[in-house]
Amino acid sequence: MVHSKNEADRIKLFNLGIIERNPAEHEFHQAVQEFTGSVMPYVMANAKYDDGHILQRMTEPDRIVIFRVCWEDDKGHIHCNRAWRVQFNNAIGPYKGGLRFHPNVTQSVLKFLAFEQVYKNALTGLPMGGGKGGSDFDPKGKSDREIMRFCQSLMIELSNHIGEDTDIPAGDIGVGGREISYLFGQYKRLKNRFVGTLTGKGLSYGGSLIRTEATGYGVVYFTQHMLNMRNEKLAGKTTLISGAGNVAIFCAEKLTSEGAKVMTLSDSSGFIYDPDGIDHQKLAFLKELKFVKRQRLSEYTQKYSQATYYQGKRPWMIKADLAFPCATQNELELEDAKALVNNGIQLIAEGANMPCSLEAVQYFQEKSILFAPAKAANAGGVAVSGLEQTQNSLRLPWTREEVDSRLQHIMAHIHQQCVEYGAKDDATDYVKGANIAGFVKVADAMLAYGIG
């Protein structure tokens, strides 16, 4: 986005203040910088937001809870991890956002995730505020019992801060159906209440159909709307995906169903390139490999010999039409963006949260590449979490078709809001559109409450 000198000065000054008040929280600085780049000019043009110092208020979390989680491994050794719950903003509904278990979790990572969650949740049109939590616990290589003991220990403290009308956690990296079940079981035991305080639950105890698939499917629904604006279709497109977790696998599944060819997936050790495409049969093998056996992606090439495994590399050097970074933050940097553009990429949709660095996003925009930011593109997961809460409150499960149709409707609505607020010449700036549409909803609620 091009700024006037006045705007650029205000943005710079504001972001310096953020860095000063939140030292060493680089991921949080990055998320705020991306946001203010599009929102500050809008604030400057609308006195009620500027006079209300709304951006200062919106970049300060309501509260952060930090606590110790001690647990015993299978050999009887005691371990101590740190956990957080960042309750960022509940202006339009109870805090809502996932829990992440990964050794690189820090307060900065969770603050960036919670901050973005506020605006993503606003875009869904559902009454959800934004939060995020997690721990620096590494689930890799742990037994089921160790995972269970960790989750139970974490919930002893977390249960004091969450509730169906207060804060409703869900999954994220390292927290899938197994972990949510252990967490929910412990919550229920501690509170003696069966309420929808966590989402992503198993189907027989309050979970929603399509929740597992929702983020990946939603990314594809959003992409279809972007392509439709250019009279293009997914069928026949070649695609790159990073990650091999919940978001990546179901993004691959929906792309394949729509006739696109998925050529890559990755994990933190490297990526697989299958020039024949990763079809439904191969995806069934991968689901078993990753979700049941919990093995590494490199095993894929043992079964499918036409595929190549690239140890320690990212998939962005492969030539394709569309790219879907679905693993983690900052996994696609400027050099990767240049490689993609050189190879003729047409569209990038962020399945993961903040997978593209600021420089990469700017580069895509300079080159007029269609770019869907995470806040809009991956909002399908939290949207179906919101629908899970609704079903829990109604005590009535909906069919697969009902939930999928609501998900499609929500993704269409998010796309519509991006087009409305992100108009740029005859195209759409989706970053600007998503940021401003989310901002307006939350800011108006905050102003209505008065100063606080």
DSSP assignments along 104-150, one per residue: T--HHHHHHHHHHHHHHHHHTTSS--EEEEEES---TT--HHHHHHH
User: Taking the complex as a whole, how short is the minimal distance between the CB of residue 10 and ligand NDP, in angstroms?
Assistant: 30
Q: Quick one: CA torsion of 205, 208, 213, 217, rounded to 10 degrees?
A: -170
Nearest approach in angstroms of CB 368 to ligand NDP is: 26
**In what helix (H) or strand (E) does residue 167 lie, and over which residues does it extend?**
strand 167-170
Among residue numbers 177 through 236, which ones bind ligand NDP (CB under 6 A)? 215
Distance, in Å, from the CA atom of 283 to the CA atom of 452, rounded to the nearest integer, reads 49
For the residues of 366-392, what is the DSSP string, one character each?
HTT-EEE-HHHHTTHHHHHHHHHHHHH
The single residue among 41, 129, 245, 422 that binds ligand NDP, judged by CB under 6 A, is: 245
User: CB under 8 Å to 342, separation ≥6 — which residues?
Assistant: none
Q: How far is CA 167 from CA 84, 96, 151, 237, 286, in A?
A: 13, 6, 17, 40, 33
**Residues annotated within a binding site for substrate:** 96, 117, 120, 171, 385
Structure tokens belonging to residue 302:
């043992």
- Rg over alpha carbons for the chain, rounded to the nearest Å, is 21
Using rule CB under 6 A, residue 323 touches ligand NDP: no
The smaller minimum CB distance to ligand NDP, of residues 53 and 294, is found at 294
Q: Which is nearer to ligand NDP, 173 or 278 (CB)?
A: 173
Number of other CB atoms surrounding residue 101 within 10 Å? 26
Site string for ligand NDP, 390-409 (x = CB under 6 A): --------------------
Tell me the closest approach of the beta carbon of residue 361 to ligand NDP, in angstroms. Answer: 15
The CA distance from 451 to 150, in Å, is 40
Q: Which residues are annotated as a binding site?
A: 96, 117, 120, 171, 215, 246, 385
Phi, psi of 140 (to 5 degrees): -65, 130
- Which of 171, 315, 386, 438 forms a contact with ligand NDP (CB under 6 A)? 171
Contact indicator for 314, 242 with CB cutoff of 8 Å = yes
Beta-bridge partner residues of 85: 65, 133
Find the binder of ligand NDP among 41, 93, 196, 243 (CB under 6 A): 243
* Type of residue at 344: G
328 forms part of the interface with ligand NDP (CB under 6 A): yes
Confirm or reject binding of residue 378 to ligand NDP (CB under 6 A): yes
Is-catalytic flag, 132?
yes
The one segment of 173-181, 281-289, 413-421, 434-442 that binds ligand NDP by CB under 6 A? 173-181
Report whether 412 contacts 123 (CB < 8 A). Answer: no
User: How far, in Å, CA of 197 to CA of 309, rounded?
Assistant: 41
Q: Which residues are annotated as a binding site for NAD(+)?
A: 215, 246
Query: Which is nearer to ligand NDP, 41 or 325 (by Cβ)?
Result: 325
The catalytically annotated residue of 48, 111, 132, 313 is 132
Residue pair 170/134 in contact (Cβ under 8 Å)? The answer is no
In the list 226, 352, 377, 442, the residue contacting ligand NDP (rule: CB under 6 A) is 352
Q: Interface with ligand NDP includes 247 (CB under 6 A)?
A: yes
Rank residues 79 and 313 by Cβ distance to ligand NDP and give the closer one.
313
* Binding residue for ligand NDP, selected from 33, 159, 268, 365, defined by CB under 6 A: 268
The distance of closest approach from Cβ of residue 169 to ligand NDP in the complex, given in angstroms and rounded to an integer, is 12
Give the interface size with ligand NDP as a residue count (CB under 6 A): 24
417 near ligand NDP, judged by CB under 6 A: no
**Least distance CB 42 / ligand NDP (angstroms):** 25
Does 381 sit near ligand NDP (CB under 6 A)? Answer: yes
Residues annotated as catalytic are: 132
* Binding footprint of ligand NDP on the chain (CB under 6 A): 171-174, 176, 215, 243-248, 267-269, 326-328, 331, 351-353, 378, 381
